[in-house]
Structure formats: structure tokens, C-alpha cells
Structure 1
Amino acid sequence: MKSSKNMANLQRPDRARMEGVCYTSVGIPVNSRLMERLEGEWDVDEEEEFKTIFLLISLEMVLCPTQSLRLACDLFPALTCAMNAASYNWCELVLNKLMESVASFARRFYSTGVAGGCGGCTIFAVVFYLDKLDRFPVQWGEFPRIKVWNLNQISLATKEDRIACGGDYGVMGTMDVAYGENHPKEARDTDGPCRVN
């Protein structure tokens, strides 16, 4: 496959070793060289390579990030889907990887009392937290919700919810909101929630 051959020339795992008959890899590094290749010039016949590199970077940096700048080994098979990426359920993959990362974090934390971070796409968790804060909504009814939460909005909401001297969060509390319904803080003429059109 042309794409695999070209990708192997671009990036090889930094460390790989033979252990008996098993090959162990630490993942594909996502570094400036790979980013420069993605941002470079592409010919029409290089579509598969472009899509594969784009998917590799998207998986590592946004959808399924790890604690290092390397694509996790268990995601290598996903790179074979690059040409038909639109026909796959990436949401399920992202959620599964996030849940695996959270479970791994919890195991480390509860066994030692300390853990050094959690991989996985936390964008969903951040937007879900922000939308549930007991405050007036940011462009409620706009989907996907990630579109309305820019860095200024995120910064403002987190500052409002931060406990002054402890650094923890929880000043504002949360409220029960349901996507697809009117927000409880918005004015309405009815006695209960109704669907947003």
C-alpha cells in the first residue's frame, strides 16, 4: 500500500524491540516533521497518504490523545480506514478510549494515591461540565455545542466557578439541563420544557 510505505518513511516508532517472538512498539510519534508534511504540498495521487496522515494527527491530538505525543498502538488499525473515514462511528471509538483512559487513571490513583494525568478526548467532558453550570447559557440550542464554547467563554465560565483560595471548582453548582429542550434559565411562556426547533 503506497500510503503505508510513505508513512513508514516519514515516521518510525522511536523505540521498538524484539521480545521472544513478540514485536513491541511504543506508538507513532506525532512531531513537527509529520505536521510539516501534512501542511505541505500534495499531488492528486497522494490523497490516501494525506488522509492517513490527517487521521493519524486527528486521532492523536484531538480524538484519542495520549499522555505523550504518540498515536497509541491499538489505534494503528484505524489508520487503514482513512479513505472511508466518513462511514465509521468515530464517536464510539472516542468514548471508548476516554472510558479506558479514565479507568486506567482510576486504577493508578486508587492504588497509589497519585496519578499523572489522563489521556482520552476530554473535550466532551469539558463542554458537558460548562453546559451544566448554574448560569445563563451560551447560545443554547446551537449544535454541536463545541461551536459556542470558544476560549474566552471557557475562561469566563471556569473563573466564575472557581473557588477563590483553593483552586477547586464548584462555586456555581450545576443544574439539570437536557439538550434539545429549552434551557431552565431562559425565559419561556410554558410551565415546562419543550423541544427546541
Structure 2
Amino acid sequence: MVVLRKPGVVDMKVVCTLSKGISVNHMVMVRLEGEWKDGEEAEFKTLFLLLSLHMVLCPTQSPRLSADLVPSLTFAQECTDFDWCGLVVSKLLCSVATFARTFYANGYARGSGGCLLFIVVFYLDRLNKVPLSWGLFPRIKVWSMHEVGLVARLDRKSLDGDFGKMGMLDVAYGEDHPREACDSNGPIVMHNEVAEEGPYTHKAPKARRIRYTAIPCFVTTHCHAPPSREGF
């Protein structure tokens, strides 16, 4: 059972008694893209939520909206008060569990429901590479098809093989990315400028004492020619 939670309300669950979901066909899209009057706000939000759940957030292998999602349509007017991210993850885990049971029992499964778009973005953000606009949300705004294509070519093990060449990082959203600081060419070298002494200020090497047999002399560390004994 999928749980739709509302912040401030502990374990509020919506239970559906329908055996079948709502059929989603082209007529629903036509109606949504049509003209709307001022008093039809509730109907518009309900249809928009229905298509969002069926096509993006919680898709299935069926042309019908999943039956356990039907009760969530009643909250279309107050949709901003609910945790839809939690619903997406919950539905995804349920769908993957159903896929796994079918696959391991029969050795084959037609596919899995759930928001596979979430899995793609989650995977891309954890590849062992310099992050792409880390900290910018929503993450789907960052990953264009061009960026996905570039990373996919780098992560593919062979032209006709699987992915996973780059490896993964253990990092969570909201944390500092371990590879973010690697996007640098090192300290800037200043030329012909007088700068205050700091950790990266270039200094000429100091002269140090070295010995040749018993005769002392002074040379700089960058001198490669043997010292002359003339004048001693």
C-alpha cells in the first residue's frame, strides 16, 4: 500500500477499495489542453495531477492510473500540503519489489513501474566524477538530454555493454560533494605583481652552505655549475 503523508499529520494513510485504476487515454490530454473557465479550477488540478502521477511521478506498465493512487486525486486542491516526493519513492520501491519477485520466480519480467526518471538522476549524481551544479534543485533541471548523453558515453563499459565504468560515490543531497573541490587548476601564479606574503607566495630559494672537500663556499640551490675556487 502506498502512503501519502501530510507534514504535521502522523501516518495518515489513504486506502483505495477499487480493483482497477482510472483509464488514462488521449481524451484526458485533450481535455487538459482545452479551454477552462474560472469555476473549473478543481477539475483542472485533478486532471493535471492524474496525468502527472500516471506519466511522470508514478507510471505503470498499464494504461490505467494505479488503483492505490486514486485516493490522492482527492487532494488536488491542497496538493502543496502533501509530501509527493515520499509518495514517489514509496511507489517506486513497491514497483521494484514486484518486479524482483516476478523476475526471480520466472527468470523474466516485462518491466517495472515507478519513476525511473528518479533512478536515472539519482544514479548520475553519484557517479565518480566532478558533480554537475551540485546543490542546485530540482536536479532534473540540471540534467539535460545533452548532459545525460555525454556522461552515458563515459560510463559505458563497451559500445554494446553495460554501464558502471566510472564507479559510484557515497554522497547524499545536502552534503558537500567529495569531488567538487577537484574542479580547480590549483593556486594562481602571480607574475610581475607585488603581493602580500601568503601560503602560495613564491619565494626565491635561499642560499645554503655546502662543502667541497675542506673549502666552504655559498651557492644558490638552483645553480647547476660547480663553484669556482678562484678568489679563495
Q: Could you say which TM-score interval applies, normalised by the shorter chain? A: 0.7 to 0.9
Which residue in the other structure is 2:201 paired with? none
Match of 1:60 among 21, 37, 54: 54
1:115 aligns to 2:120 (yes or no): no
Cα distance in 1 between the residues matched to 2:118 and 2:98: 18
Alignment of 1:16-165 (within 5 A): 24-25=19-20, 27-165=21-159
Cα distance in 2 between the residues matched to 1:45 and 1:156: 47
Listed one character per residue, the Cα deviations across residues 22-80 of structure 1 (whole Å, up to 9, x for unaligned) are 9743x222222110110110001111110110011011011110012320111111111
Which residue in the other structure is 1:183 paired with? 177
Residue identity opposite 1:142 in structure 2: L
Shift of 1:104: 0.1
Question: Percent identity among equivalent residues?
Answer: 57
Structure 2 gap segments, 5+ residues each: 1-16, 183-232
Cα distance in 2 between the residues matched to 1:140 and 1:111: 40
Residue identity opposite 2:76 in structure 1: A
Higher alpha-carbon deviation: 160-169 or 131-140: 160-169
Cα distance in 1 between the residues matched to 2:147 and 2:130: 12
Query: What secondary structure, in the 3-state scheme, does the structure 2 residue paired with 1:132 have?
Result: coil
| TM-score (norm: length of structure 1) | 0.78
| TM-score (norm: length of structure 2) | 0.67
Residue identity opposite 1:104 in structure 2: T
Which residue in the other structure is 1:171 paired with? 165
Q: 1:28 to 1:94 in 2, by over 3 A?
A: same
Structure 1 gap segments, 5+ residues each: 1-21, 189-197
Paired residues of 2:61 and 2:111 also in contact (CA < 8 A): yes
Q: 1:87 to 1:177 in 2, by over 3 A?
A: same
Cα distance in 1 between the residues matched to 2:28 and 2:165: 43
Cα distance in 2 between the residues matched to 1:114 and 1:64: 22
Cα distance in 2 between the residues matched to 1:159 and 1:75: 37
Residue identity opposite 1:30 in structure 2: V
Shift of 1:182: 3.0
Higher alpha-carbon deviation: 169-178 or 112-121: 169-178
Which residue in the other structure is 2:212 paired with? none
Paired residues of 2:19 and 2:67 also in contact (CA < 8 A): no
Shift of 1:178: 3.2
Higher-helix-fraction structure: 1
Q: 1:181 to 1:147 in 2, by over 3 A?
A: same
Listed one character per residue, the Cα deviations across residues 84-139 of structure 1 (whole Å, up to 9, x for unaligned) are 11111212221111111000000001101111110011222211110111122111
